[in-house]
């Protein structure tokens, strides 16, 4: 096996056994990027020089016994909507095509403080709006499992980088499924943490009351480790939660005896692909064999999830994206007066999906429509939160498919509505602010990965990770971890 095929845990082992250096590891990933990037297109920017520089510094620290964390020297890729000082942060948009932030976001600061070299910034749907990465203004990203399929979105580049062995792990952001759905399409583990657990400072805002940063990896241990690196209170994010974070890796005991699993019947209804359903049920059987108990639950408000989600997120987006006016950030299309300059800049800078959402959001917030749309949607959101809370009074975690189908082809979703509908199982989680994890549980007839979603109550990341770990161990014993 080559170094670029190792998980972060395996790399950590090699480093601490002094078998390899961080420089060798980074070189191995850069060589793999060189080999496959032409086809996969996971990155918008590859930061080869900075990564090698950081790796050499890590190797010096190792020789001096001055390691800054247990992950010192293990490289990472990051979605291009997180602010990186001195490195372009485009959000997949023409309006920020040449934007170089003057500061690091909190997660980037934490990665640096832990000694992780940054391999580059990954492709995404423009401003994280989309489910296939087809909305990126710059690049096409292919699913490394099958190049004819999308990698999912909006963190498609972050998922493709890990699935294509161009990075051992990565960070994505999830507003309505953007970590879990690409993880599902690419056969990875992805975690959307509880709202407020990971700082959003320096994450370019799409819908501020939904957005969360989270890890993608090829093993549950890697995802737990990355959570240890990035989680925690941050004064710079007013929605950050001030509470102690557990050691997520220590939660991986492999013991789930007595765990109560709920299967929400609305998530197994019409529209769900048979192969996906069969794989989820087989995985649930394995969890039962490991000591869990299962019951059916009901979340009737799921019916309104798509409308509610797209209405509130578009409203928040229309407000958040007002700042791109050609004055302070990025693109400016010069024109005779300032109003025309705003218009020309925004017309040229934003892509069609972003414009659609700005218009929808502005409409929903305008006088006369606010009560009928925005306020109503917020009321539904409250009911959904309650419904989740009621479910979690009965069960510890909920299990659902991550997506109704496996990865679809480029151009297959003919219009926005079709694309929106594919988010049905993931958006409820962000509406409620609870954590959820997607993990691979099998493949369909086309050998495309099937993802299973585990949802927990607020701050139940440990239960999600441990359940995923338990299942991963069962699959390892059965020899089908690569299914
Ligand atoms: N597909 C959803 C949307 O377009 C989710 C995106 C995300 O989580 N960033 O809004």
pLDDT in tens, 341-360: 999 999 999 999 999 999 99
- Tokens standing for 293? 């108990």
CA of 83 to the centre of ligand 1 (A): 19
Nearest-5° angle of CA 300, CA 400, CA 248? 120
End-to-end CA distance of the chain: 19
Q: Which range marks the domain in which residue 73 is found? A: 1-483
Residue nearest to atom 4 of ligand 1 (CA): 130
CA of 418 to the centre of ligand 1 (A): 13
CA of 93 to the centre of ligand 1 (A): 15
Q: What is the pLDDT of residue 313?
A: 98
pLDDT, one tens digit per residue, over 252-286 is 999 999 999 999 999 999 889 999 999 999 999 99
The span from the CA of 140 to the CA of 142, in Å, is: 7
The β-bridge partners of 438 are 190, 453
- What residue ranges line ligand 1, CB within 6 angstroms? 128-131, 154, 174-178, 206, 313, 423
Active site residue 438: no
Q: What is the pLDDT of residue 235?
A: 97
Residue nearest to atom 5 of ligand 1 (CA): 176
Q: The pTM is what?
A: 0.97
Domains held by the chain: number: 1
Mutate to test the pocket of ligand 1, among 82, 153, 156, 361 (most ligand atoms within 8 A of CB): 153
Nearest-5° angle of CA 190, CA 279, CA 290? 80
Which CATH number fits the domain that encloses residue 273?
A: 3.90.1300.10
Nearest-5° angle of CA 290, CA 300, CA 408? 70
Active site residue 155: no
Q: What is the pLDDT of residue 483?
A: 45
Mutate to test the pocket of ligand 1, among 82, 91, 126, 131 (most ligand atoms within 8 A of CB): 131
- Residue ranges for the chain with pLDDT beneath 50: 482-483
Is the peptide bond between 426 and the residue preceding it cis, with omega within 30 degrees of 0? no
Give the SS3 label for residue 471. helix
CA of 341 to the centre of ligand 1 (A): 29
């Amino acid at each position: 096996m080559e170094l670029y095929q190792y998980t972060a845990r395996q790399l950590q082992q090699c480093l601490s056994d002094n078998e390899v250096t961080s420089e060798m590891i980074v070189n191995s990933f850069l060589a793999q990027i060189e080999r496959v990037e032409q086809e996969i297109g996971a990155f918008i920017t590859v930061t080869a020089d900075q990564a090698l520089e950081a790796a050499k510094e890590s190797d010096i620290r190792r020789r001096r016994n001055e390691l800054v964390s247990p992950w010192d020297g293990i490289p990472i890729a990051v979605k291009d909507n997180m602010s990186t000082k001195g490195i372009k942060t485009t959000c997949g948009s023409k309006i920020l095509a040449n934007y170089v932030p003057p500061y690091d976001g909190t997660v980037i600061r934490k990665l640096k403080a832990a000694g992780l070299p940054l391999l580059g910034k990954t492709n995404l749907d423009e401003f994280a709006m989309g489910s296939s990465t087809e909305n990126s203004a710059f690049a096409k990203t292919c699913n490394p499992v099958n190049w004819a399929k999308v990698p999912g979105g909006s963190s498609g580049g972050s998922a493709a980088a890990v699935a294509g062995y161009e990075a051992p792990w990565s960070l994505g952001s999830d507003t309505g499924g953007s970590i879990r759905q690409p993880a599902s399409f690419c056969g990875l583990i992805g975690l959307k943490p509880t709202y407020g657990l990971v700082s959003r400072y320096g994450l370019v805002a799409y819908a501020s009351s939904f957005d969360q940063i989270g890890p993608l990896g090829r093993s549950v241990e890697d995802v737990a480790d990355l959570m240890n690196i990035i989680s925690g209170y941050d004064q710079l994010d007013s929605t950050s939660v001030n509470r102690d974070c557990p050691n997520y890796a220590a939660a991986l005991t492999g013991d789930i005896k007595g765990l109560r699993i709920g299967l929400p019947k609305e998530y197994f209804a019409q529209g769900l692909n048979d192969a996906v359903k069969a794989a989820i049920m087989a995985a649930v059987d394995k969890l039962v064999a490991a000591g869990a108990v299962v019951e059916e639950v009901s979340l009737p408000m799921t019916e309104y999830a798509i409308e509610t989600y797209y209405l509130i997120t578009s409203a928040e987006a229309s407000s958040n994206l007002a700042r791109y006016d050609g004055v302070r950030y990025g693109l400016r299309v010069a024109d005779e007066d300032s109003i025309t300059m705003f218009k020309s800049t925004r017309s040229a800078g934003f892509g069609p999906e972003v414009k659609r959402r700005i218009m929808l959001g502005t409409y929903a917030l305008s006088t006369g429509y606010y009560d009928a749309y925005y306020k109503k949607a917020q009321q539904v959101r409250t009911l959904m939160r309650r419904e989740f809370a009621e479910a979690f009074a009965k069960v510890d975690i909920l299990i659902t498919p991550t997506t109704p189908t496996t990865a679809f082809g480029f151009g297959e979703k003919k219009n926005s509505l079709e694309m929106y509908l594919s988010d049905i199982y993931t958006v409820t989680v962000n509406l409620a602010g609870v954590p959820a994890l997607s993990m691979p549980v099998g493949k369909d007839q086309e050998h495309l990965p099937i993802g299973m979603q585990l949802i927990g109550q607020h701050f139940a990341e440990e239960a999600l990770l441990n359940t995923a770990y338990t299942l991963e161990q069962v699959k390892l014993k059965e020899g089908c971890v690569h299914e």
